[in-house]
Amino acid sequence: MFSSMASLPIDPILGLMAKFREDPNSDKVDLSVGVYKTANGHTPIFEAVKAAEKYRLETEDTKAYIGMMGTPGYNDAMLRLLIGADYPSDRIAAALTPGGCGALRVASEFLMRANPDATVWVSDPTWANHMPLIGGVGLKIKTYPYYDKASHGVNFSGMIETLKGLGPNDVVLLHASCHNPSGADLSPAQWDEIAAVAAERGFIPFIDSAYQGLGEGLDADAYGIRKIAASVEEMILASSCSKNFGLYRDRVGQVAVMTKADRKEVTVGQISSIARGMYSMPPAHGGAVVEHILTTPSLTASWQKELAGICSSIQTSRTLLKAGLEKAGVEGDFAYLIQNQGMFSFLDLTVEQINKLQADYSVYLVNSGRINLAGVTANNIDYLAASIKSVTG
């Protein structure tokens, strides 16, 4: 039965990670996978997470299952963080999920049950894993214009014109902040316009929030979520604690569906049945850690401070890269590196140049030219900029 299975190419990012690990060049630079790293290439555990885990180790008294939706305390704390303390609790069904990917998949299954004819519109480009997570349930996917290569910002006129043509059978996936892969974010005024068009046209906003706090701050990064939540009756929010709590491998996320007032119970039932059919119950540990941090003021403060530190270290990398490329004489205007938000930006490199960077200089980035800024440090910037200069001529 299994011998007819086709062999699939290895995931490009995982393949690069493996090559990077094996590369003996001591100058090697990894700009590929979307994980935060310090200048030593280490992904640290937040002190607030360590403290919450210690507390849990001492107080946890059972390993019995948690429910399909996770714990109410976690769901409430996350919704307060994302939407604000005044979130409409009577209209939101929320569940702890295995990571942001789990949230995106549960949301997609939910959409497929709600309307199998729905089309999900994603930004061009979007995070590569959106395609299998959303398309894998059988939903149609189309793209709306988003990234403007010339300005390295948002092609807002193209985007909004497309959204104005959509209706109730459409779902629009929006990145809350720190757009992956471009780093080009929507301004508050642009979010206001999208919210107004969503309310008028009746499409469903589906917001993916994987980087809250890594852009302009916890509240600023949630501007779009809050604006949309205040403007429409129905929306979906898929969030992740992988990056902003550094809980990558513990798999912590949340799916939240905002419905009409009398539909909450039905929605809880649907999400529970979707979870039951996929993984039954979410893992408890990471969600409990997040809940403890967000409900313990001293830990909340410590977490916020560390998160702000990560954010400013990425900003420093952005400044370093801009200055380094200019100093090395690489052609182009790199002001956009400072304007983009979050972990990612694009470098305008061809696939040949990217291959050469890897083969000749052990500089690793994905073929699209997306780079993880956390890989740029004071120690490697001169080498990195000189390598880029040499492949771009």
Catalytic one of 198, 243, 256, 284: 243
How far is the C-alpha of 125 from the C-alpha of 240, rounded, in Å?
20
- Residue 33: φ, ψ to 5°: -65, 145
Q: Which is nearer to ligand PLP, 93 or 107 (CB)?
A: 107
Site string for ligand PLP, 83-102 (x = CB under 6 A): ----------------xxx-
* 256 lies in the binding site for ligand PLP (CB under 6 A): no
Catalytic one of 121, 127, 191, 303: 127
How far is the C-alpha of 281 from the C-alpha of 67, rounded, in Å?
6
* CA-to-CA separations, 289 to 85, 240, 241, in angstroms, rounded: 20, 14, 11
Active site annotation includes 208: yes
Q: Which is nearer to ligand PLP, 101 or 154 (CB)?
A: 101
Q: Which is nearer to ligand PLP, 33 or 160 (CB)?
A: 33
Minimum CB distance to ligand PLP, residue 307 (Å): 16
* 180 lies in the binding site for ligand PLP (CB under 6 A): yes
Q: Which is nearer to ligand PLP, 248 or 334 (CB)?
A: 248
* 193 lies in the binding site for ligand PLP (CB under 6 A): no
Residue choice 253, 286, 342, 375 for contact with ligand PLP (CB under 6 A): 253
Q: Which is nearer to ligand PLP, 184 or 385 (CB)?
A: 184
Active site annotation includes 243: yes
Minimum CB distance to ligand PLP, residue 365 (Å): 16
Residue that has been written with the tokens 């994905």 in this structure: 366
* 240 lies in the binding site for ligand PLP (CB under 6 A): yes
**288: CB partners within 8 A, 6+ apart:** 52, 56, 60, 71, 74
* 127 lies in the binding site for ligand PLP (CB under 6 A): yes
* 283 lies in the binding site for ligand PLP (CB under 6 A): no
* 34 lies in the binding site for ligand PLP (CB under 6 A): yes
- Residue 231: φ, ψ to 5°: -105, -25
Catalytic one of 118, 184, 195, 210: 210
* 210 lies in the binding site for ligand PLP (CB under 6 A): yes
Quote the Cα angle for 100-348-310, to 5°.
Answer: 40
292 bridge partner residues: none
* CA-to-CA separations, 215 to 71, 104, 125, 192, 222, in angstroms, rounded: 28, 21, 19, 19, 10
Q: Which is nearer to ligand PLP, 210 or 222 (CB)?
A: 210
* 183 lies in the binding site for ligand PLP (CB under 6 A): no
**299: CB partners within 8 A, 6+ apart:** 48, 51, 52, 292, 293
CB burial readout 68-103, b (16+ within 10 A) else e: bbbbeebbbbbbebbbeeebeeebbbbbbbbbbbbb
* CA-to-CA separations, 389 to 266, 353, 362, 381, in angstroms, rounded: 58, 10, 14, 12
Which residues 345-384 are close enough to bind ligand PLP by CB under 6 A? none
Question: Hey, which residues are catalytic here?
Answer: 127, 208, 210, 243
- What residue ranges bind ligand PLP (CB under 6 A)? 34, 99-101, 127, 175, 180, 208, 210, 240, 242, 248, 253
